[in-house]
Amino acid sequence: MKFISFYSFFLWVTSALADPPINPNIGHNHHHHRHGEKHETVKPTSARFVTSRKSSVELPLPNEENAFTFIVYGDRTGGPPEGVSVLADAVRDTNLLEPDFVMTVGDLINGYSNEEIWMTQMKEYKSIMNQLSCPWFPVAGNHDIYWRGKDKSKKPEGEMEAAYEMHFGPLWYAFEHKKSWFIILYSDEGNPQTGEKNFGKPDAQKMSAEQFSWLDQTLTKAKGAEHVFLFLHHPRWLGRGYGEDWNKVHKRLAAAGNVSAVFAGHIHTMRYDGPKDGIEYVTLATTGGGQSSSIPQAGYLHHYDIITVREGRISLAAVPVGEVLDVREITGELILQVNKVKRSPVQASPPLSLKNNEGGQHELSVTLNNPSDRSVTTVVSSSNGSLGFRWQPDHQHTTLKPGETKKLNFNLSWDAYLTRGNFGTPSFHIDSEYLAKGFAYEIPRRTIPVPIELELSLKTELQNGAVRFNGSNAALSIPSNRFTIEKELTLECRFKADTFAGRTGLVTKTENSGYGIFISDGKPDFSVNLDGKYLSATASSSVLKTGQWHTLAGIYDGREARLYLDGKLIASALGNGELKDNRLPMMIGADVDQQGQPTSFFNGLIDYVYLTPKALYSGEASVAIKDRKEAIIDLQLNENIGSWHPDASGSKAHAISIGGFTVETIK
């Protein structure tokens, strides 16, 4: 039997009672949680530790023990035939990890068929598993054994047991490895009187006298082992329809005193039951089998377990299938190629025309390009933001060869009621994978808005309104194809901040190009990119106040950048050059990143945003704009129609909302 020393028990109790304070930079104490004590170490000696430097720090070395690892796969069956692709991914992961060997817990094939289908599935399974660089060991499950042919008169005696032992191996067996024993049991022998095989009936879930006798002999043979591990398909210790037969097995395992863990599958979700009498009971989910994936982090997922075996202890860890990266494959060239895919432009045309109180339909073409050196798979699908718009089809799959361009066509339709009330921004998702030699690298999802021409007939109820931004995910976006700045500009915004916290974008189009106004930590800055370098007019201190309305205006006249606060010049900077613009959207209430997404969010109210291609102010003071005919963006932000905030200029540069927002009446 295994006993916990008083010292170990004392350490466990004191560590449990002494709940360490939480580091605010981490937010949890999960890394303090260990199953067992720290590894034993030894002092460094000249035989194992060499340096030419002096240090007072002594670095302890790991104990030179005979540790090893093995991997356990869950059920492969109960799902679609394509589930073997998950198994293949697990084999690929395993070859990167290189354990000593792989164990299984049964249900290797779908089965429940006749001999011909069984043979086909068996060959497919073995052809995949035989790609492992290490040995693997089978366990028989109900899907591997139960015969379900149409002509019951042809059912073989023992159903598929003979075929299993001919092609997979013995129904029960054991082997020794590095002072540990591994015992494989058979949990589908059936009813000893009738021979019926049914995992839902306790009378059919009994171990035969023959297998019990063999187990007793094997446990005796393994009595000197450091560890003993058992593997079977059905987790009979759960009771339920399994009955109570497992209690007889558990008594034998507990009496042996060196059984460390028992592994099973069948239920298609992870579950831990233990330790019981020093034995850890582990149930695996699936490695390609039927999987709901309802709560992946709570064990509903495709995974495999990695077990590390040391003297006096074992560790257990589950790894989702497909999450292991090949260090040797992630070269500089691969990084270059996946970034090409990530940044490849997606074109949607022609623009969709929306009018108040009118329904309609629209033929949309989405043009994709693969600029990389390998094939790329892509799924184009309608997004949740398209609520109210009907897509036909709602998604399409395609594979693009290197350098290939493809056009996918969709039909969008909508009803008149949609344009009378609030409606979402129609958009679509781009989900792509770069198909490298050994792995499919997932490209982060992109959401592309459908280009829209809005013909809005506004009836403003709010005489003076403003949009509230929450400082976490809310922004307004104006597509760059709606306006152009060439040599001069005036960018003006009226706002009231609730807080100033770090880098904050107010109205921006800056990403190694463009122009914008920032109010980081209450210190306003207007920047414009000339010949690839920023010219900035920045206030000397944090002059902005929370809870107070301010108006900021950034001016560039071809020679000088100027920044005005509430009508007074507060900063200027001389500089000339070609104004370098970009194709990124203008963000209101945030900064814009390389992907055209908002970041560095503003918290507060914005009353209006005004942009003109001329320098309107000069000298020490500015005056209120009376003639707005020169405007190429004139957002009064008094109201919204669905996700849109109308632009009063001739550009139709209507702003699209991102995240949550409200329009409030202001004084």
Cis check: omega of the bond before 393, within 30 degrees of 0: yes
CATH number of this structure's domain 340-454: 2.60.40.10
Locus of tokens 């309802």: 294
Query: Distance between CA 382 and CA 398 in Å, rounded?
Result: 15
DSSP 373-428: SS-EEEEEEE-GGGTTPEEESSEEEEEE-TT-EEEEEEEEEE-HHHHHS--PPPEE
Which pLDDT tens digit goes with each residue over 249-270? Answer: 999 999 999 999 999 999 999 9
The confidence score (pLDDT) of residue 195 equals 86
pLDDT at 92 over 70: yes
Residues of the chain with CATH 2.60.120.200: 461-665
352-355 and 452-455 strand pairing: parallel
Query: Distance between CA 101 and CA 542 in Å, rounded?
Result: 63
pLDDT at 363 over 70: yes
Query: Distance between CA 659 and CA 248 in Å, rounded?
Result: 60
pLDDT at 570 over 70: yes
18 vs 622 pLDDT, higher one: 622
pLDDT at 449 over 70: yes
Residue 610, phi then psi, degrees to nearest 5: -135, 135
Exposure string over 83-110, b if 16+ CB within 10 A, otherwise e: bbebbbbbbbbbbeeebebbbbbbbbbb
553 vs 459 pLDDT, higher one: 553
Query: Distance between CA 405 and CA 398 in Å, rounded?
Result: 11
**pLDDT-based confidence at 5, cuts 50/70/90?**
very low
Cis check: omega of the bond before 350, within 30 degrees of 0: yes
pLDDT at 10 over 80: no
Q: Lowest-confidence range among 111-125, 297-311, 573-587, 616-630?
A: 616-630
Pull the structure tokens for residue 329.
């494959």
Sequence-ordered list of residues with C-beta below 8 angstroms from that of 27, at least 6 positions apart, any chain: none
Residues of the chain with CATH 3.60.21.10: 68-320
Percentage, residues of the chain above pLDDT 90: 65
The confidence score (pLDDT) of residue 421 equals 54
DSSP symbol at 113 = B
How far, CA to CA in Å, does 40 sit from each of 61, 260, 312? 9, 20, 11
Amino acid at 246: W
371-382: average pLDDT: 97
H or E, element range at 219: helix 209-221
CATH number of this structure's domain 68-320: 3.60.21.10
The confidence score (pLDDT) of residue 12 equals 46
The confidence score (pLDDT) of residue 605 equals 97
Query: Distance between CA 96 and CA 326 in Å, rounded?
Result: 7
457 vs 658 pLDDT, higher one: 658
The confidence score (pLDDT) of residue 527 equals 96
Beta bridge partners of 519: none
**pLDDT-based confidence at 7, cuts 50/70/90?**
very low
The confidence score (pLDDT) of residue 4 equals 42
What number of other Cβ atoms are within 10 A of residue 162's Cβ? 11
Pair 337, 435: CB distance under 8 Å? no
Nearest in space to 610 (alpha carbons), one of 507, 482, 498: 507
CATH number of this structure's domain 461-665: 2.60.120.200
Query: Distance between CA 177 and CA 174 in Å, rounded?
Result: 10
Which pLDDT tens digit goes with each residue over 302-357? Answer: 999 999 999 999 999 999 999 999 999 999 999 999 999 999 999 999 988 877 66
DSSP symbol at 191 = -
533-538 and 259-264 strand pairing: unpaired
pLDDT at 437 over 60: yes
Query: Distance between CA 31 and CA 29 in Å, rounded?
Result: 5
404 vs 42 pLDDT, higher one: 404
Q: Where are the beta strands (DSSP E) in 277-382?
A: 279-283, 303-310, 313-320, 347-349, 352-355, 360-369, 376-382
pLDDT at 51 over 70: yes
Q: Lowest-confidence range among 171-180, 254-263, 513-522, 643-652?
A: 643-652
Q: Is 355 helix (H, G, I), strand (E, B) or coil?
A: strand
The confidence score (pLDDT) of residue 422 equals 57
The confidence score (pLDDT) of residue 29 equals 78
608 exposed, middle or buried (CB, 10 Å; 0-12, 13-18, 19+)? buried
Pull the structure tokens for residue 270.
């992870």
Sequence-ordered list of residues with C-beta below 8 angstroms from that of 92, at least 6 positions apart, any chain: 324, 438, 439
DSSP symbol at 172 = S
Beta bridge partners of 261: 229, 280
Nearest in space to 129 (alpha carbons), one of 287, 282, 286, 264: 287
380 vs 244 pLDDT, higher one: 380
Query: Distance between CA 209 and CA 197 in Å, rounded?
Result: 17
The confidence score (pLDDT) of residue 438 equals 81
pLDDT at 169 over 70: yes
Amino acid at 217: Q
Query: Distance between CA 122 and CA 124 in Å, rounded?
Result: 5
| End-to-end C-alpha distance for the chain, whole angstroms | 79
Residues of the chain with CATH 2.60.40.10: 340-454
Pair 15, 29: CB distance under 8 Å? no
Nearest in space to 643 (alpha carbons), one of 391, 426, 362: 426
The confidence score (pLDDT) of residue 220 equals 97
523-532: average pLDDT: 95
Query: Distance between CA 113 and CA 118 in Å, rounded?
Result: 6
Pull the structure tokens for residue 387.
């609520």
Average pLDDT, the chain: 89
The confidence score (pLDDT) of residue 183 equals 96
